[in-house]
């Protein structure tokens, strides 16, 4: 089945990884597995070998701790503050009434975002385990941890592709004029861009006038996603992205904790520079007015869609239910004040979203002024904002390559911080599952994970790779997280016991008054589960098949998306049923075995075979060895 549109041809051949990719993929994967096997064989599986990345001053000598509180806080802020803060929140605020949108946004932060963030970070810190092993607290829910890890794997695959796009645009920014600002096909910049994109006369006609309604930046973006096999210059950018991630995480938190000093702070420097520059441009005031100024529309608060989008944005912006919060906080010292940390990170995350909106819309306002169009016609979200609208706006500024370089460096650092935590989830889960084998091989584990995910990400840098990215994002980073988050809060508040969990937290941060816990009890026991349930039901009820632009996905593509979702979620009932089956088998086995007091009645006849050890009163009727009931 193929679909032909003016902008792209999309069919099952193009959506694949391209001719010749599958054999090389399998060969590379086999080579990787052999490398891992012989590495372990050479080390002779030295189970008692200490982790070289654990220092003597670490409180936890088995897993290690953060080198300093600053590194942990910067890592948490970098994880929570991601691309969505820049390319989604400003658009939602503009779309849903401007400043009025901050009202539902703040309320949802208080009733859903902050309670879950505090719960997850304290949960991981208390037991010093990753998102799977933390569920030793409620073993029947270990499938939730597996779901979190699988979601992190799928998201890591396409998230680094977005970083690869940003790296490609960064390299392309080192030329003047910027390639996406050029309309003249005879210009040097256009010829360089055409050559780098491997555009031939078969799919690209040199025109002095671009297609109607399509800006040069949009044309440039589309040219990167023509149909065909692997786009190797994007594959090289993807490889570079994985090298950056692997290098930063090679020694675990000991190395990534140093990198975040730059990656977590640099975006704020760039946002401030862009805001100052944007505020001096003509038309900036109009952009800010549309974003959050006097044109705020309080009547939008009556629209239920506004509240749903506010809750969804908070939930995904804080990165709850991904497992990253548990993984990062598991390396904290036991008596760290996780409550204070949660407040700081959540407030910083939301403040960054609002701050980024001013930087984005001030320059979009100038772009609208240049094009003599309303701001509403140039404002957009997601890929359209990051790789079309904003680069187009930057190309209108003096010294445009400088601003473009800064912007895409900011996107890269924003993405890397979040990617660090995603890979940390995977590595932590593996090391927690096999501590004796893997605790001293952190570098090998990280390298292996990065290589495998790079190979799995190659379909996302084919000619139709953007469709794979959009498909995984739709079916993996959506309502699955709502299910995981809902089961998490219900499991801890009801099955494990909310009051018991509060006592656990007080072991770390000290005893608090009943008034202090009043709000958290209300959220964990009632408000947060209700909010998440409403969002989940609404998301499923209003679900529509994904599209990219004007292109709809074929039926097999939609089916594949649902299969990905099912694969992530199926571990929850599997673990649940396996635990229940094990319980039933145990009861049957016990019921078919003699009771502990079985044997000769008189003690003198019991001998060594039927000794008195563990014998029960003969007047008590025992149903089984392990599960006794007195009558």
Gap between the Cα atoms of 245 and 156, Å rounded: 11
Report residue 196's pLDDT band, with 50, 70 and 90 as the boundaries.
very low
Half-sphere exposure for 23 (CA within 13 Å, toward CB): 2
pLDDT at 527 over 60: yes
Gap between the Cα atoms of 105 and 314, Å rounded: 7
The answer to whether residues 331 and 79 touch, using CB atoms and an 8 Å cutoff, is: no
H helix or E strand, kind and range, residue 325: helix 324-329
DSSP string across 130-182: -TTGGGGSSGGGHHHHHHHHHHHHHHHHHHHHHHHHHHHHHHHTSSSS-GGG-
Which residues are annotated binding-site positions for Na(+)? 78, 80-81, 85, 317, 349, 414, 417-418
Mean pLDDT (the chain, rounded): 80
pLDDT at 186 over 60: no
Half-sphere exposure for 236 (CA within 13 Å, toward CB): 6
Report residue 362's pLDDT band, with 50, 70 and 90 as the boundaries.
confident
Task: Taking the CA atoms of 247, 156, 225 and 369 in sequence, report the sign of the dihedral they define.
Answer: negative
Confidence at residue 207, expressed as pLDDT on a 0 to 100 scale: 40
2 phi and psi, to 5 degrees? -125, 150
Nearest CA to 168 among 213, 198, 205, 204? 198
Compute CA distances 518 → 461, 499, 504, 512, 521, whole Å: 50, 11, 16, 11, 5
pTM comes to: 0.80
Gap between the Cα atoms of 402 and 173, Å rounded: 8
Q: Label residue 573 exposed, middle or buried (CB < 10 Å: 0-12, 13-18, 19+).
A: exposed
Which residues are annotated binding-site positions? 78, 80-81, 85, 317, 349, 414, 417-418
Alpha helix segments (H runs only) across 81-141? 83-87, 89-95, 102-108, 114-127
Confidence at residue 45, expressed as pLDDT on a 0 to 100 scale: 43
Gap between the Cα atoms of 123 and 338, Å rounded: 10
Residue with the bigger pLDDT between 507 and 224: it is 507
Residue range 204-212: average pLDDT?
Answer: 42
Nearest CA to 470 among 561, 567, 378, 379? 561
Q: Label residue 445 exposed, middle or buried (CB < 10 Å: 0-12, 13-18, 19+).
A: buried
Least confident of 91-100, 147-156, 228-237: 91-100
Gap between the Cα atoms of 558 and 541, Å rounded: 17
The answer to whether residues 306 and 96 touch, using CB atoms and an 8 Å cutoff, is: yes
Beta bridge partners of 155: none
């Amino acid at each position: 089945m193929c679909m032909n549109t003016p902008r792209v041809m999309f069919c099952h051949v193009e959506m694949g990884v391209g001719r010749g990719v599958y054999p090389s993929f399998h060969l590379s994967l086999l080579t990787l597995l052999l490398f891992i096997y012989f590495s372990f064989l050479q080390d002779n599986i030295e189970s008692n070998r200490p982790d070289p990345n654990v220092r003597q001053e670490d409180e936890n000598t088995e897993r290690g701790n953060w080198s300093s509180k600053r590194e942990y806080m910067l890592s948490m802020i970098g994880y929570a503050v991601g691309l969505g803060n820049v390319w989604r929140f400003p658009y939602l605020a503009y779309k849903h009434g401007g400043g009025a949108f901050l009202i539902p946004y703040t309320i949802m932060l208080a009733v859903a975002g902050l309670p879950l963030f505090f719960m997850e970070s304290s949960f991981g810190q208390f037991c010093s385990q990753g998102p799977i092993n933390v569920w030793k607290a409620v073993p029947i829910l270990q499938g939730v941890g597996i779901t979190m890890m699988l979601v992190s794997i799928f998201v890591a695959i396409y998230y680094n592709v977005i970083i690869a796009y940003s790296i490609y645009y960064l390299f392309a920014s080192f030329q003047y004029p910027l390639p996406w600002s050029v309309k003249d096909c005879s210009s040097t910049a256009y010829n360089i861009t055409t050559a780098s994109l491997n555009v031939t006369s078969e799919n690209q006609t040199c025109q002095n006038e671009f297609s109607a309604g399509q800006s040069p930046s949009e044309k440039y973006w589309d040219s990167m996603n023509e149909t065909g096999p692997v786009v190797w210059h994007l594959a090289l950018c993807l490889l570079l992205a994985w090298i950056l991630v692997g290098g930063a995480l090679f020694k675990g938190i000991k190395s990534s904790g140093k990198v975040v000093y730059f990656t977590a702070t640099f975006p704020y420097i760039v946002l401030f520079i862009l805001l100052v520059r944007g505020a001096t441009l003509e038309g900036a005031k109009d952009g800010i007015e549309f974003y959050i100024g006097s044109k705020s529309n309080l009547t939008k608060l009556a629209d239920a869609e506004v509240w749903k989008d506010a809750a969804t944005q908070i939930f995904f912006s804080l990165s709850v239910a991904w497992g990253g919060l548990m993984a990062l906080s598991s390396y904290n010292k036991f008596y760290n004040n996780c409550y204070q940390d949660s407040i700081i990170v959540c407030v910083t995350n939301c403040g960054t979203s609002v701050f980024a909106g001013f930087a984005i819309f001030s320059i979009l306002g100038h772009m609208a002024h240049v094009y003599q169009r309303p701001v509403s016609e140039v404002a957009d979200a997601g890929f359209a904002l990051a790789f079309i609208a904003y680069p187009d706006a930057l190309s209108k500024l003096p010294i445009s390559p400088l601003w473009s370089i800064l912007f895409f460096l900011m996107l890269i650092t924003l993405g890397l911080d979040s990617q660090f935590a995603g890979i940390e989830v995977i590595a932590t889960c593996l090391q927690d599952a096999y501590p004796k084998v893997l605790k001293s091989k952190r570098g090998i584990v990280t390298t292996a994970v990065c290589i495998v995910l790079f190979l799995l990400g190659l379909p996302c840098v084919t000619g139709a790779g953007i469709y794979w990215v959009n498909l995984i994002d739709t079916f993996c980073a959506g309502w699955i997280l709502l299910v995981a988050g809902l089961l998490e809060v219900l499991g801890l508040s009801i099955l494990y016991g909310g009051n018991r969990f509060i006592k656990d937290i007080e072991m770390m941060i000290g005893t608090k008054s009943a008034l202090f816990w009043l709000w958290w009890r209300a959220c964990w026991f009632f408000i947060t589960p209700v909010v998440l349930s409403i969002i989940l039901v609404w998301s499923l009820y209003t679900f529509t098949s994904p599209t990219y632009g004007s292109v709809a996905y074929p039926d097999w593509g939609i089916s594949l998306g649902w299969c990905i979702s099912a694969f992530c979620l199926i571990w929850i009932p599997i673990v649940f049923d396996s635990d229940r089956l094990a319980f039933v088998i145990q009861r049957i086995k016990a019921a078919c075995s003699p009771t502990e007091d079985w044997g000769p009645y008189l003690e003198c006849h019991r001998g060594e075979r039927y000794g008195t050890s563990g014998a029960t009163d003969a007047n008590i009727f025992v149903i089984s060895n392990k599960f006794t009931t007195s009558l």
